[in-house]
A = this chain, B = another copy of it.
Amino acid sequence: MARIRAAIINVTGYIGVDMARILLRHPEVDLVCVTGRSAAGKRLSEVFPHLTDSDLVIKPDLDCPADVVFSAMPHKASAEVCAPLVTQGLKVIDVSADFRLKSREEYEQWYEVEHPCPQLLDSAVYGLPELHRDEIARARLVANPGCYPTGALLALAPALSAGMTDGDIIIDSKSGVSGAGRSLTLTTHFAECNESVAAYSVGGHRHMPEIRQECRRLEPRVSELMFVPHLVPMTRGILSTCYVRLAAGWLAGRGDPEKAVGEMYRDFYRGSIFVDVVDASPATKHVWGSNYCHVYPGYDARTGRLLCISAIDNLVKGGAGEAVQNMNLMCGFRESCGLDALPVYP
């Protein structure tokens, strides 16, 4: 198979640069162009010394032919940049939120901007490979999921698709600080967030409608769900603790509930190389720096609730790695190609 030419638009954020890290070592890809307004003209390895042996220079705009383009632009700007590329027939993976919500109204309500190209919403595929593998393989435009939705949906999908739940779902997520991006804010200033944990966006976070949309596709009984994100003093990782009420009668005739739930989860993820259904409560450290996700399906006998917990690296499986996984599917490569590095522990 011929090598693929890839480009990253706006390489200077954390997901952008982590895509560069992965693509620079991808065996089937040449990273031919990276763009970034503020750092244009500088060598990539000067701005990011860890990309030590790259000769790429950051360009103001995409300026050479490419087969696949990753956009890490902010929302709205990203759609504007992606639309003409899709039209030109390139494969496009959009890391922004622009094509994740199927409803234009919902998008405009939560992101408070007009959608620049709503005509692409129908054909865009929500890029969670474990749920939409086949559609992704045929897509021209993939909307890479948000970091929280990736973790929450991987924890919930088997329960939802099996009809285990009655639709009452609470998701309490704990994220490392890199999830807030590379832009400077007081919230992400070291002395402010170190030695502290706090909830944020308690009035409603933009990832909620995205999680809700995918939950409803799997289980129409989901009407509303509660999602509360927290900031934790670490760089990478998201732990999503999900509290799910079982549908009445689901347990009847299934024997040991914990075991029944576990089997359901293992069946669901057979064939999903990056998801490990684990027997013990997972830690984000167990997936640090990798594209793996650990999912623990627990059952609380006292309350009859499911306690589903997932751990991901928010920048890899929750961002750059998932984007490359989508590219692999779109280009017909092995799904784990360039992504099989094991987590770095400790």
Instruction: Give me the interface of A with B, judged by CB distance under 8 Å.
Output: 14, 17-18, 21, 24-25, 48-52, 170, 172, 174, 176-178, 182, 184-186, 188-200, 202, 204, 224-226, 228, 230, 232-237, 239, 241, 243, 276, 278, 280-290, 292, 294, 296, 298, 300, 302-303, 305, 307, 309, 311, 340-346
Contacts and interface: CB of A to CB of B under 8 A. Distances in A.
B170 A191 contact: no
B243 A288 contact: no
A273 B286 CA distance: 29
A242 to B, nearest CB: 10
A226 B305 contact: yes
A197 B284 contact: yes
A285 B50 CA distance: 8
Contacts of A289: 289, 344
A119 to B, nearest CB: 30
Nearest to A300: B226
A50 B191 contact: no
Copy count, this protein chain:
4
A284 B177 contact: no
22 contacts: A18-B345, A25-B340, A48-B345, A49-B282, A49-B286, A50-B344, A52-B343, A170-B170, A177-B194, A188-B191, A190-B194, A195-B234, A195-B236, A196-B234, A198-B281, A198-B285, A199-B309, A226-B243, A230-B241, A232-B232, A233-B234, A288-B344
A44 to B, nearest CB: 11
A288 to B, nearest CB: 7
A311 B199 CA distance: 10
The 4 closest A-B pairs by CB, nearest first: A196-B285, A198-B283, A184-B184, A50-B343
Contacts of A345: 17-18, 21, 48, 50
A193 B196 contact: no
Contacts of A24: 342
B186 A235 contact: no
A243 B243 contact: yes
A307 B342 contact: no
Nearest to A17: B345
A215 to B, nearest CB: 14
Given A226-B243, A228-B307, A233 B190 contact: yes
B225 A303 contact: yes
A221 to B, nearest CB: 14
Given A189-B188, A234-B194, A278-B49, A199 B241 contact: yes
A174 to B, nearest CB: 5
Contact of A284 (B21, B198, B300): B198
Given A174-B174, A228-B241, A342 B191 contact: no
A178 B17 CA distance: 27
B50 A194 contact: no
A234 B52 CA distance: 22
